[in-house]
Structure 1
Amino acid sequence: MNIRAISYNILCKVFQNNAYSNKLLSYYCKKFNLSSQDKKLLYILTKGIIKQRNFLDFILSQSIKNRDFKCIKESIKCLLRLGLYQIIFMDSIPDRAAVNETVEIAKKVKNQTTANFVNAVLRNYIRNKDAIKLPDKNNTSEYLSVKYSFPKKLIEKWLTLFTEYEVELMCEYFNKPPKLSIRYNCLTTNKDSLSAYLLKKNIRFSYGQYSSNIFHIIDQFDLSKDEYFIQGKYSVQDESSALAVELLNPHQDERILDMFAAPGGKTSYIAELLNNEGSITAVDIYPHKVKVMKANLSRLYIKNVDIICGDIFALDFSEKFDKILVDAPCSGWGVMAKKADLRWHYQKNLSQLIELQEKALNKADKLLKHNGQIVYSTCTFNINENELLIKKFIDNTGNYKIVSPDNLIHKEIIEHHNIIKTLPFKHQIDGSFAVKLKRC
C-alpha cells in the first residue's frame, strides 16, 4: 500500500471534514496491517504536514503563478502540502522522488491537469526556494506564526503570557516529534528491573526529572508488541500527567474519586500507589473510552477500582469521598506536540469547556467530605481554565484554600500560591497545571 496515498486520504479528512488525525492514523494502520517502518513513515508524514500547514501554505502561496492559493480546492492543497513537506523536511527523500510520487497520486485521485499543476508548483519551488522570505521579524506574531506554523491569534495570546523568546522555544518544542514516556507499574516490577530490561534491549532512556516513576524513551519502539508492556510492567504516561496523582497523595484508608477517568492513566497510577488496596471510583461518560480503561487496568493487574460508565453530573453516591481528582477536559494547549490537530482548533468550544470545568468543581464540592481534598488538573496553561477559574471557585464557595504540596512535588515546578505548573519551554515536558484544594 502506498503510504503517501494513505497520508493524503487522512489529510483530506482532517482539513476538509475537521476529522482527528490520531483516530484516522490508528484506523489505517490496523486496516492495512502496516509494518513498524511504514507506520512510522505514515505518522511522521501526516502529523508533520498537519503541524506545518501554515508554513507550507505560506511557501505555496509564493510558488504559484497567476492563481490565488486561497481559491484552490482543499483536496489539491493537500497534494501540494504532501509534496512540499517531503522536499523541505524529509532529507532522506530526494526532491525528484517527492515530486514524482505526489504527481502520480494526483493522477490517480484527480486527473492529468491537476497532476501537471502539482508538478509545476513543486518544481517552481525547487528552482526559486532561495528567493522566498519569511515575514519581517519586527512583526513578531506574524513571523512566529509562519515560521513555526501556528495560528497568529494563538501566538498573540501566548505573547501576553510569555516573552517572545519563551514563545519561540515553546513553538520549537511543539514542532518536534513527541516524546514517549512510560511509568513503571510498582505492582509488577520496579525501577531497577525495568531499567535493566530496557538496557538489555538496547533502548536508551532517561529518568524523569520531576517524577521518579517516569522513564523518557530516547529510542522509539513499537511498545504494543513489547513483552513487558503486554505483561503490564509499564504504562504510557507523560511526566506532567503523573504529577497530579502524586499531588493527590492517595492513602489506603481513603475513598477516592476520579471524575473524568478514561482511558485510565491517572486511575491506574492511583491504584498502583495504593498497592491495589483502598477504594477508588473511576467515572467516565464515554463507553468506548471506558472499554479501553477496563482493558488497561486488566493488563496492569489492578483490582481495586470500581468503574462506572455514566455522566458524573447525574450520579450520586451514598458515601462522600476523602479525595477527588478533577482531571478536567480542557483546551490541551500543553499537549500540542502529541496532538497535531489541536493548534488549528485551539478555541474550539473553549467557553463550553470553561463552563464544564466550573461545573465539575462544583460537583466535586458536593461529593467531598468535610476536610476533604480536591486536586484540579489540566493539560493547558490557559489561565482562564486554571488560575482564574480556581480563584472564582474559591471566592464563590468561601470554604476552600489552596494547600502546600509539601515534599510531594519538585520545588522547581511549584509557582507562587502553591500552584503546580509545567511549561514546555522551561521544563521540557508537556504543559500542565495542578492545584490541591482543601475544604476548610
Structure 2
Amino acid sequence: MRLTPAHLETATAALRAVLPLEHPADSILRRFFRENPKLGVNDRAFIAEAVFGILRHRFFLERVIDIATPRSLLLGYLAKFHGMNLRELTPLVSEADAKWIAQLKAVRLESQPLAVQAEFPDWLTEKLHGFMEEREILDLGRSMQEPAPLDLRVNALLANREEVLALLKSDGIEGDATPYSPAGIRLFGKPGINRNELFTTGKVEVQDESSQLLGYLLAPRRRDMVVDFCAGAGGKSLMLGAFMRSQGRIYAFDTSEKRLNNLKPRLKRSGLSNLYPQLIVNENDLKVKRLAGKIDRVLVDAPCSGLGTLRRNPDLKWRQSPHSIEELKRKQGAILASASNLLKPGGRLVYATCSFLPEENQEIVENFLAAHPLFTLLNCAELLAQQKIPLDTGVFMQLSPRSHHTDGFFAAALELANSKK
C-alpha cells in the first residue's frame, strides 16, 4: 500500500482516540471504524497495525521523541519499526520532521534502559526482578512485542483437524497443526476467518492454543456436570461441550450479560445442546450456591491483569497498576474459594490466568491449599501426558510466547479428596 497524507491523517486521528486508554484499545478502534465507514479493508489494516505497533513500542518512542504527539509517534513508529525508509516518508513530512526521524532511526535499542528495551513500565520491571534475571525479563519483553498468531480450535463435534486443514488450504488459507493442542490450528498471516464457511458453520472457533490446553487439563467426561466459572464469551465452555460430545451438562457462569450475549451466536453455530449460560451477580450468587457439592469439574479462568496477552493487548501495560493487581488478587482468592465449594468429592478444579505474575498464580493457589486441606495439587505435566500432549512445565502449567508461541498462560489443577481425612 502506497502511503498518502490521508493515511497519515486518519491513522493519527485513530491513535488520538485510543491514547487516553480509558477503555480497551481494540474496542475504541472498533468504534473509530464504525464512525469512519468509508475506510477500505487495507486502510483499516494499516491503521490497526500502526496503532497496536505504537502501543507495543510506546516506551521507546516516547523516550526518544522530543515532543510525543500522536502524529510524531506514528511517524517514529513507521520509520523505526514498520520498516519505512526516509525516502518513502520525505514527501509526506516537513524538513524538520525528516531531520528528527533520521536521528530516531539511528538510535540503538540496546542503548536504552532495561524497562524501555523490554517495553514494561517501571513497576512491572521491578516486580519481574523479584523472580527473573535481567536477560529473562528482556526475552519476555521482546517476545511480548511480537504480534500474536491467529489460532483456531476445531469443533470435534462437527469436524476433525485434518479435514479442516484441507478445506482451509482449498480456500487459499495456509495453516498448520498446533504443537500441543490436538484440536488447534495456527494460521499463517491474519486471514479474515469470520466470513469463512468453516467459521460460520461452527466447525472452527478462534482460540489461542494456551486457552485450548485448559480443556485438556480439566478433561471432562461425557456425562459430567461441569461449571465454567468465569465463562466470558464462552470459548472454553464450547470447547468443553465438544469434548463431552454434547452430553452431560455445562453451566457457563459470568457476571457480564454482554459477554454471555456474545456466547449465544457461537452456541447456536456449535451444535451443542448441553451448555447453559447463567448470569450471576458475583461468586456468591444463589445460582452458584445451589450447585454446591454437585459438580464433577470446575474451570476457573480468573479475572486477572491479562499481562500474558500483551502481544494482543499492549494497552494493558498502561491500564494496569500495582493497585489494580492487589484488587485482582483479592477477587481471585474469593472466586477460587467459592468455586471450590461446587465440587463433589474426587472432583477436579483447574485455576487459570493469562498472567505471568506469581502473585496472581502460584501464590493464590498456595494460599488456597493452606486454607483448604482437603484439596491436593495435581501435576499438570502428568495430566497432559495422559492426553498424549508432550508439554512439561512442571506441576503448574506456565506458558510463554518465547518458549511455547502462545499467550502467557498459567494453570493449576486441584482435586478434592474423596472422603474426609
Match of 1:124 among 89, 99, 105: 99
1:424 aligns with one of 380, 389, 401: 401
- Residue 103 of structure 2 is aligned to residue 84 of structure 1: no
Q: Does 1:24 find its partner at 2:24?
A: no
Match for 1:39: what amino acid? Answer: R
Rounded to whole Å, the distance in 1 between the matches of 2:223 and 2:108 is 63
For residues 222 and 409 of structure 1, the distance between their equivalents in structure 2, rounded to whole angstroms, comes to 32
Match of 1:367 among 342, 345, 369: 342
- 8 Å contact from structure 2 (residues 21, 319) kept in 1: no
Moved more, 376-385 or 220-229: 220-229
Q: 1:277 to 1:88 in 2, by over 3 A?
A: same
1:92-131 aligned within 5 A: 93=84, 95=86, 98=89, 101=92, 119=94, 122-129=97-104
Match of 2:299 in 1: 325
Calculate the TM-score normalised by the size of structure 2.
Answer: 0.89
Partners of 2:98 and 2:7 lie apart in 1 by 22
Structure 2 residue 215 is the aligned partner of structure 1 residue 209: no
Task: Please identify, of 256-265 and 401-410, the stretch whose mean Cα deviation from structure 2 is larger.
Answer: 401-410
Q: 1:305 to 1:99 in 2, by over 3 A?
A: farther
- Which residue among 296, 315, 328 is the counterpart of 2:286? 315
What stretches of structure 2 of length at least 5 have no aligned partner?
Answer: none
One-letter code aligned to 1:361: L
**Offset from partner CA, 1:337-369 (integer Å, 9 cap, x none):** 010201223426111111111001111122222
Shift of 1:371: 2.3
Q: Name the structure 1 match of 2:315.
A: 341
Report the RMSD for the aligned CA atoms in angstroms: 2.3
Change in 2 beyond 3 A, CA 1:209/1:322: same
In 2, the alpha carbon distance for the partners of 1:230 and 1:297 equals 11
Q: Is the 8 A contact 1:176 1:337 kept in 2?
A: yes
Alignment counterpart, residue 355 of structure 1, candidates 330, 350, 367 = 330
Q: Check the 8 A contact 1:246/1:409 in 2, yes or no.
A: no
Alignment length, in residue pairs?
A: 403
Query: Aligned in 2, Cα 1:345/1:17: closer, same or farther, shift over 3 Å?
Result: closer
Q: Residues 17, 240 of structure 1: CA spacing in aligned structure 2 closer, same or farther, 3 A cutoff? A: closer
TM-score by length of 1: 0.85
Query: For 1:37-436, what aligned pairs fall within 5 Å after superposition?
Result: 37-61=42-66, 69=67, 77-91=69-83, 93=84, 95=86, 98=89, 101=92, 119=94, 122-129=97-104, 132=107, 136=111, 143-311=113-281, 312-316=283-287, 317-319=289-291, 320-347=294-321, 349-404=324-379, 405-406=382-383, 407-408=386-387, 410-415=389-394, 418-436=395-413
The 1:379/1:270 distance shift into structure 2, 3 A limit, reads same
Alignment CA distance shift 1:89-1:398 (3 Å): same
What CA distance in whole angstroms lies between the structure 2 residues aligned with 1:130 and 1:231? 47
The CA distance in 1 between the partners of 2:8 and 2:247, in whole Å, is: 49
SS for the counterpart of 2:19 is helix
Aligned to 1:73: none
* Alignment partners' CA distance in 2, 1:120 and 1:150: 33
CA contact (8 A) 2:140 2:402 kept: yes
Is the 2:118–2:140 Cα contact (8 Å) retained in structure 1? no
Sort the Cα spacing of 1:285 and 1:3 in 2 relative to 1 into closer, same or farther, 3 A: farther
C-alpha displacement of 1:181 = 0.3
Relative distance call for 1:254 and 1:144 in structure 2 (3 A) is same
SS at match of 1:307: strand
Q: Which amino acid aligns with 1:412?
A: L
The share of aligned pairs that are identical, in percent, is: 26
CA contact (8 A) 1:399 1:439 kept: yes
Task: Name the aligned partner's letter for residue 59 of structure 2.
Answer: N
Q: Distance in 2 between matches of 1:204 and 1:243?
A: 23
Question: How far did residue 133 of structure 1 move?
Answer: 5.2
Counterpart secondary structure, 2:315: helix
Deviations 1:404-440 (A, max 9, x none): 343137353331xx21111222222111111111112
2:58 alignment partner AA: R
8 Å Cα contact 1:258-1:267 kept in structure 2: yes
CA contact (8 A) 1:52 1:148 kept: no
Alignment-mate amino acid for residue 28 of structure 1: F
Measure how far apart 1:89 and its partner are.
2.2
In structure 2, what is the equivalent of residue 8 of structure 1? 12
2: CA distance, partners of 1:130 / 1:336: 25
Instruction: Specify the SS of the correspondent of 1:412.
Output: coil
**CA, structure 1 residues 227+354, in 2 after alignment: closer, same or farther (shift >3 Å)?**
same
> 1:303-332: per-residue Cα shift (whole Å, max 9, x none)?
211111222422335342111111101111
The unaligned stretches of length 5 or more in structure 1 are 62-68, 70-75, 104-118, 137-141
Change in Cα spacing, 1:322 to 1:126, as seen in structure 2 (3 Å) is closer
1:84–1:122 CA contact under 8 A, matched in 2? no
Note closer, same or farther for the CA distance 1:436–1:15 as it changes in structure 2 (3 Å cut). same
